[in-house]
């Protein structure tokens, strides 16, 4: 499955059915009268959270998602059948905006949650609804209303507890593969990771597992579109803890490598600078002593916890994951409140 974290779709509520003009004329019924039924309501368009998918790729093959139109009313005061709703499955963490107005429509964060994105039209009233003492034989009814139609931009922001970030080739994918069952591509050239990868870290039955995300490498200018980071920086926004990896075996200034990624985080979203973060020296088995010391001092100057790991030998991995788990337990989970859906002033089914 190809990872796709943006999609534009059209959604439309079904049109309501027309009201009916009819009169009751039956044998042995001395007084008939208006008997036109109401039209059925159009079906709405809903987004529903599905924890089994993690990409918007399946929306690539269909542009319009429309609710079914309501049936027209019939004689004998029979109301038309309401139209079926259309349900569009989206991964958890999907944010929805109206393309034309830029309005934030809502978010889908919990498995099974439904968000109404296009209302179905009301069914028109039949002529039986218009009777009164002075109008006992009305000969008019209402047409059904059109359903709501809009274009939506869907943006996926992965739901992960821990995000792993750093420069390209800092050892992020190797760390993910060492602590979880995820198997991202690992190679000795930059930008090996082209899409975010999720893994689940579990250490025994009694420990609550947590989700860790491997994000594509960031380079200078990523917040302005350089490299791949610009496309995937949004996925960091939902991570409660960041593991900032710096390659201990590389050449150059480790403190500068640390600052480069920090600058891009701040340029993209200033609040990310205050997010709980560990500085992690990677590739400990091939580390340069001078880089270790510089990085340790840089972490201390920022008052950030410092860890060193080797994903190949396993050194420091257990200690890092235990520290991450303790930090997650300390950080209260955000209360997941679904943003209110579009007001339902017309029944949609």
Encode pLDDT of 104-123 as tens digits: 999 898 899 999 999 999 99
| Per-residue pLDDT at 282 | 92
Residue 349 has which token pair? 């089914």
| CA dist., res. 52 & res. 275, Å (int) | 28
Encode pLDDT of 166-218 as tens digits: 888 888 888 888 888 666 544 443 444 446 677 778 765 456 788 888 877 66
For residues 213 and 323, which has the higher predicted lDDT (pLDDT)? Answer: 323
| CA dist., res. 57 & res. 117, Å (int) | 19
Under the banding of pLDDT at 50, 70 and 90, the label for residue 227 is very low
Domain ranges of the chain: 6-156, 162-330
What are the DSSP E strand ranges found in 93-148? Answer: 94-98, 104-108, 114-118
Question: Is the pLDDT assigned to residue 347 strictly greater than 90?
Answer: no
CATH fold, domain 162-330, is Rossmann fold (3.40.50)
Indicate whether this model's pTM tops 0.85. no
Q: Which CATH class is domain 6-156?
A: mainly beta
| Per-residue pLDDT at 342 | 41
Encode pLDDT of 37-73 as tens digits: 999 999 999 999 998 887 888 888 888 999 999 999 9
Please report the DSSP string for 150-201 in residue order: EEEEEEE----SEEEEESTTSSHHHHHHHHSS------SSTT---S-EEEEE
């Amino acid at each position: 499955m190809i990872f796709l974290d943006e999609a534009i779709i059209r959604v439309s509520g079904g049109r309501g059915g027309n009201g009916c003009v009819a009169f009751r004329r039956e044998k042995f019924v001395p007084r008939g009268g208006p008997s036109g039924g109401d039209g059925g309501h159009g079906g709405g368009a809903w987004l529903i959270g599905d924890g089994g998918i993690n990409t918007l790729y399946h929306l690539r093959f269909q542009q319009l998602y429309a609710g079914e139109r309501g049936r027209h009313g019939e004689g004998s005061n029979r109301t038309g059948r309401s139209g079926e709703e259309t349900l569009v499955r989206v991964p958890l963490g999907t944010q929805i905006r109206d393309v034309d107005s830029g309005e934030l429509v809502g978010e889908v964060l919990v498995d099974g949650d439904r968000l109404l994105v296009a209302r179905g039209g009301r069914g028109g009233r039949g002529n039986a609804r218009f009777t009164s003492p002075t109008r006992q034989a009305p000969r008019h009814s209402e047409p059904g209303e059109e359903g709501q139609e809009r274009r939506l931009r869907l943006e996926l922001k992965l739901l992960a507890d821990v995000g792993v970030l750093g420069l390209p080739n800092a050892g992020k994918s190797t760390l993910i593969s060492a602590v979880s069952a995820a198997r991202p591509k690992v190679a000795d050239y930059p930008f090996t990771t082209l899409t975010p990868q999720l893994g689940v870290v579990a250490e025994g039955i009694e420990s609550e597992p947590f989700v860790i995300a491997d994000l594509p490498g960031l380079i200078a200018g990523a917040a302005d579109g350089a490299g791949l980071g610009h496309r995937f920086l949004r996925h960091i926004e939902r991570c409660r803890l960041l593991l900032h990896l710096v390659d201990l075996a590389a050449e150059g200034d480790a403190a500068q490598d640390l600052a480069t990624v920090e600058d891009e985080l701040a340029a993209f979203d200033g609040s990310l600078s205050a997010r709980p973060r560990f500085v992690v020296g990677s590739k400990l088995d091939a580390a340069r002593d001078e880089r270790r010391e510089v990085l340790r001092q840089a972490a201390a100057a920022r008052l950030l916890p410092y860890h060193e790991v080797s994903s190949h030998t396993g050194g420091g991995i257990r200690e890092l994951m235990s520290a991450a788990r303790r930090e997650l337990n300390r950080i209260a989970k955000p209360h997941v409140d679904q943003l209110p859906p579009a007001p339902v002033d017309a029944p949609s089914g």
